[in-house]
Structure 1
Amino acid sequence: MNFNFLSPVSDLVLAHNELLSQQTLGKKIKIHSKQHGIPELDQVHLAIVGVLENRNDVNYIGEEFSLDEIRKSLYSLFPGNWHKTIADLGDINKGETVEDTYFALKTTINILVQKNIIPIVIGGSQDLTYANYRAYDALAPMVNIVNVDSKFDLGDSAKPIKNDSFVGKIILDKPYNLFNYATIGYQTYFNSQEEIDLMDKLYFESYRLGQVSKDITLVEPVLRDANIVSIDLNSVKASEVSDRQKTSPNGLDGKEICAISRYAGISNKVSSIGIYEYKPSRDDTVTSMLVAQMIWYFIEGVNFRVKDDDFLNDESYQKFITLVEDQELVFYKSIKTQRWWIEIPFLSEINNKLKRHTLLPCMHQDYLDACNNKLPERWYKAFQKNCI
């Protein structure tokens, strides 16, 4: 396998790992080291990849950074009752140009996803999500992205890509593979009214911080439908992170960001995740431990994945039909997990028994709303997107 882009985990981290208890995660994972090289990837289910690229950060002033503290924190945690094998493949260093780094990340993710290995990218600036997205060009015809962020990051796509404008590039650059884009935890005052209107016009989904904090379960169906999850650490409130990481007094708290990570892990569809905008500082232990715990919860979620969306077997689900404004809505509920889906009608005319239903993950509440003659918003947006 061509992983020439990857440099090994630092000796400092490996020395720290030697001192840990035999039961810790650091002793259970396969690590890319100078001494032993890149580990064998047979039987590996998840792979950690660091990316030391931050030159497209709008505030970039030439600083370097390292992910050593995150690794030390992660390695020191104890795994749950897990059966998935994890590898730490080390870091992708800055390329000659940012495009070189994008190419290295795109290639690495593409290889891993093809091998059914989920990449967990720990990065510098969030524009790396663009490279993650491009890795799917040859993998999937349509891609759903969820961005956990206080901003939409649409930006001006006519200008060069930056960490606050990469979504504009994803939407407008060919090939057009983006089906749905959802932002979790956005804060209105950080986004222009034009961007908020554009999100609506494109029938993309956005969940305000207040909505998410009030009921975190709202975001589970959104993450269940995502292929790529991108988390901006600036979505976390200042009191939860180290000095250089502080951006806003409001934001998601530690429990909420870990719950979101776990939902992403449980999703059968999520095949890559990235945690971005990490800025180490001298009092770094809080942020590095938070990122380590987010990764821990994601891995925990992956270990608890349940194949519950195979609706070919009548005994595995219950079907509910309700009428809203002359529109017949068909809901499915998994008997195994109690999770809900709603059918998108645009494919219902295709009489192909072998074709999997085009189903949109939803909540029990959506069914209750439909029974009260209220159209679920997620269904409406997906329906509209397919009428365009």
Structure 2
Amino acid sequence: MLDNWLSPVNLTALSLPDLDADHLGSQLHLHTETHFPDLNGVQIALVCLNEKEGIALRKALYTMSFPFEGLHIADLGTIRKCTAEFIMPVLIELHESNILPIIVGSDPALIQIQYKGLQHELQHINMVALDEFIRLSVPTENKQPDLFNEIVFQKKSKLFHLGIIGCQTHFTLPATYRLMDELHFDYIRLGTARANLAEVEPIIRDADLLGCQVAVLKQSEAPGQENASPSGFNVEEICQLCRYGGMSEKVKSFGIFGYKASLDRKAQTANVLAQMIWYFLDGLSHRKGDFPISTEGLTEYIVEVKSLDFTVTFWKSQRSGRWWLQVPVKTSKQQQRHRLIPCSYNDYKLASQGELPDRLVNALKRFL
């Protein structure tokens, strides 16, 4: 069925040199003119949403190394039409087959389709976007709604939480920050994130969906984007964040949006995107299998937080050293997969000193 919606990889346009067995391109299960791959055992599938951008990305990605023993990855080609009617069936079928899609597109708004594709799989969705903007605004009759308004304010929305990483204050109205606070959503400004990337990891670890806008990268790093900004993450930083996404046991979908091959210089942005995908795969290959569906295998730490006037329970994985905070109220069946909130060792230390970090207080309010 998938081949109804997808065009094969254009190997002629790639015109790659002969690849060794250790090159990533040699290890992919490819959708070609004569063959659609058997997806039994495949864990990850690359789907490009635009032909020109897909060719540029693959030229960079295929020549990278493949040290990911045990990972089975398919390149399913390019969506025949970049519309929801063509993209949604592909995403739904991949999710139903327990295959994680990596999707790359030129339009920033395509992240909405990435979200809708996961709605059929999950009742409550944690969504994290790496972006220079908070694409959300207070609904008004005389203003065009922002990108996330449809997701956040739709009736019976399945969005449980939204996190924005890399937003820049000079692009964000104070009313937007107030709205994010009222909704108990997370936002990490660019400077705060760059100062300590490790403290951003818990937010990404809690995501079901990770979407990255190329706009979150500075222009000098990724020129292949419209209205590029001189400020943003550099390549090393964005690759670390993508690796965090790959390591998360919860992430079921990874998307990169806003890449314009026609604006790219010497395929620089294509090479950046290829590195981002490579580090996402690297993180995925190092998953520890410690997503806490239960607390088995976790060490319990009980802390009395004076500012909240009750005790809270932290859990530490002996397998990975990662930490979680347990929601101290009864959760519904649908919320069970979110009842342990990822946090850091520094969060635990602050709580031990009598103060729960604002981010965790905000997280607890989502359950009250």
TM-score range, shorter chain: over 0.9
Residues 225-264 of structure 1: matches in 2 within 5 Å? 225-242=206-223, 244=225, 247-264=228-245
C-alpha distance in 1 between matches for 2:346 and 2:8? 47
SS at structure 1 position matched to 2:164: strand
Match of 2:67 among 65, 76, 80: 80
Q: Does the 8 A contact of 2:53 with 2:106 survive in 1? A: no
Q: For structure 1, which runs of at least 5 residues remain unmatched after alignment?
A: 53-63, 96-100
Candidates 273, 276, 280, aligned match of 1:298: 280
Tell me if the contact between 1:236 and 1:251 (Cα under 8 Å) persists in the aligned partners: yes
**1:26 corresponding residue in structure 2:** 25
Q: Distance in 2 between matches of 1:307 and 1:282?
A: 38
TM-score relative to the length of structure 1: 0.87
Q: Distance in 2 between matches of 1:243 and 1:272?
A: 23
- Residue 84 of structure 1: CA displacement? 0.8
Deviation by residue 1:141-187 (Cα, 9 ceiling, x = unmatched): 1000000001011147678999x922111111234100000000110
Give the number of aligned pairs: 363
Picking from 367, 370, 374, the partner of 2:355 is 374
How far apart are the structure 2 equivalents of 1:324 and 1:253?
37
Matched, 1:68 2:48: no
Q: Percent identity?
A: 33
Which string of whole-angstrom CA distances, capped at 9 and with x for unpartnered residues, describes residues 322-349 of structure 1? 111212110001111110000111227x
1:330-385, CA deviations, whole angstroms, 9 ceiling, x for partnerless residues?
Answer: 0001111110000111227x9x9xx7782101000111101111112232112212
Note if contact 1:130-1:170 (Cα within 8 Å) is conserved in structure 2. Answer: yes
TM-score calculated relative to the size of structure 2 = 0.92
Contact 1:223–1:263 (Cα < 8 Å) also in 2? yes
What CA deviation, in whole Å up to 9, does each residue of 1:50-87 have, x standing for no partner?
112xxxxxxxxxxx943211111000101124311010
Q: How large is the RMSD of aligned CA atoms in angstroms?
A: 2.4
Q: Is residue 109 of structure 1 aligned with residue 91 of structure 2?
A: yes
1:334 counterpart residue number: 317
Query: Structure 1: how far apart are the matches of 2:337 and 2:49?
Result: 37
Change (3 A) 1:4 1:160: farther
Give a deviation string over 1:207-257, Cα, whole Å, max 9, x none: 010111100011111111100001001100112123656711110010010
Match of 2:340 among 356, 359, 376: 359
Q: Give, in whole Å, the separation in 2 of the partners of 1:160 and 1:229.
A: 31
Aligned to 2:305: 324
Pairing 1:205–2:205 present: no
Runs (4+) off by over 6 Å? 158-162
Give 1:336's aligned amino acid: R
Query: Which residue of 2 is the match for residue 42 of structure 1?
Result: 40
